[in-house]
Amino acid sequence: MNAPVRQTPLHATHVAAGARMVDFAGWDMPVNYGSQIEEHHAVRRDAGMFDVSHMLSLDLDGADATPYLRGLLANDVAKLKEPGKALYSCMLNENGGVIDDLIVYHLSDTRYRIVVNAGTADKDVAWMRKRIASTGANVSLNARRDLAMIAIQGPNAREKTWQALPALRAASEPLKPFSGAAIGEIFVGRTGYTGEDGFEVALPADQAAAAWAALTAAGVAPCGLGARDTLRLEAGMNLYGQDMDDDVSPLNAGLSWTIDFKDESRNFVGKSALVANPAKRRVLGLILEDKGVLRAHMKVVTAAGEGETTSGSFSPTLEKSIAFARLPLAVEAGDTVEVEIRGKLLKARAVRLPFARNGKAVA
């Protein structure tokens, strides 16, 4: 467990900016540069950016790329018709547990770009290679540790990205949400993990510091992993390792919408386990009505039985504490439940996710 802590190509930039650095999935990453709440608001109201170079881009090429991914992933890449269109999917093990959640961009029927989580990257690549060997698929998988990645997010994120990096404008301006385009060595996706508009830009590591400086000069606020967590929580987006993992079925983690059973002839890893084990839990948001802060792994008491929070924090947009909770199926949005905090039962309201999108509270 004592592997040396890794650094992204922007590490020196963060340290010079006075960021508070923490170990995240084996990487020394900025958690905040000052006030985490101010960074959060910058993304909801204007534009902020995150160093997400610890995440891994993978290029999958070959004649069998599409059938390989249709067998590997629980969502169906066959629904990606236009070049550049992206899909969010879980990659499951044979028991139906989640190995990782990822984004796959369809560049052509024989070429895909995949972006996976930092903490799971080695496990993912090993699993994917094993699956290539066992299926004999004619594909090659190339891990792109030569790339850095910057996520620019917020209502003004696209405009400020074009100001800072004008060469990206022509190819990225026509991009619809949840699609991406290659511009030479750079790949721009109109995607993110905040519930706001914006881009995720993968670029050669040696260009990262200059891009970050240009974005800073254009008024994009550097933001740390702290704000990234409260933004994704408000946006109702799961965090791997916290809201689901190898031992949790996506059906019990609020991810049923990402499992595509439509093509009955399609067999994907974990499918039979999912069919044999229907959902036992549903995921709803909780808004704490009493004072306090919800955190992961708190007991939730409902009229239909007990549940548990999987993620929780203070929501800067709602100015209340919020959480995701795995609850009995009979609990409905609008129900009042109780959460045990330090031995006391406090009132919370169950709501549909997300809590916030595009700058506004919606829950």
Identify whether the C-beta of residue 121 lies closer than 8 Å to the C-beta of residue 102.
no
293 touching another protein, by CB under 8 A: yes
Choose among 188, 187, 207: nearest CA to 199: 188
Q: Which of 175, 316, 324, 327 binds another protein (CB under 8 A)?
A: 316
In the complex, minimum distance from the CB of residue 78 to another protein, in angstroms, rounded to a whole number: 41
Q: Which two tokens stand for residue 328?
A: 């009995």
Q: Which of residues 329-358 bind another protein (CB under 8 A)?
A: 342
Which range in 64-72, 118-126, 132-140, 292-300 contacts another protein by CB under 8 A? Answer: 292-300
32 touching another protein, by CB under 8 A: yes
Dihedral of alpha carbons 220, 222, 224, 227, sign:
negative
What is the DSSP track for 36-59?
A: HHHHHHHHHHS-EEEE-TTSEEEE
Tell me which residue has tokens 């549909």.
352
Site map 193..212 versus another protein, x via CB under 8 A: --------------------
Number of alpha helices (DSSP H) and beta strands (DSSP E) in the chain: 9, 21
In the complex, minimum distance from the CB of residue 346 to another protein, in angstroms, rounded to a whole number: 11
Identify whether the C-beta of residue 310 lies closer than 8 Å to the C-beta of residue 133.
no
292 touching another protein, by CB under 8 A: yes
Peptide bond into 278 cis (omega under 30): no
Number of residues counted as binding another protein (CB under 8 A): 17
Task: Give bridge partners of residue 141 from the DSSP assignment.
Answer: 60
Which range in 47-55, 90-98, 265-273, 310-318 contacts another protein by CB under 8 A? Answer: 310-318
8 touching another protein, by CB under 8 A: no
| Closer residue to another protein (CB): 96 or 312 | 312
N-terminal to C-terminal alpha carbon distance within the chain: 40
Report how far Cα 296 is from the mean position of its chain's Cα atoms: 18
β-strands 281-288, 320-328 pairing: antiparallel
Per DSSP, helices labelled H in the chain are 11-16, 36-45, 65-72, 121-135, 157-164, 169-172, 208-217, 225-234, 271-276
35 touching another protein, by CB under 8 A: yes
| Closer residue to another protein (CB): 23 or 247 | 23
In the complex, minimum distance from the CB of residue 345 to another protein, in angstroms, rounded to a whole number: 15
Which range in 33-41, 44-52, 259-267, 273-281 contacts another protein by CB under 8 A? Answer: 33-41
Distance (Å, whole) CA 173 – CA 249: 37
| Closer residue to another protein (CB): 107 or 356 | 356
Q: Which of 89, 310, 313, 317 binds another protein (CB under 8 A)?
A: 313
Per DSSP, helices labelled H in 173-310 are 208-217, 225-234, 271-276
Distance (Å, whole) CA 7 – CA 26: 9
| Closer residue to another protein (CB): 96 or 316 | 316
Q: Which of residues 11-30 bind another protein (CB under 8 A)?
A: 20
In the complex, minimum distance from the CB of residue 293 to another protein, in angstroms, rounded to a whole number: 4
Q: Which of residues 229-268 bind another protein (CB under 8 A)?
A: 230
45 touching another protein, by CB under 8 A: no
Q: Residue numbers of the site for another protein (CB under 8 A)?
A: 20, 31-32, 35-37, 226, 230, 291-293, 295, 313-314, 316, 321, 342
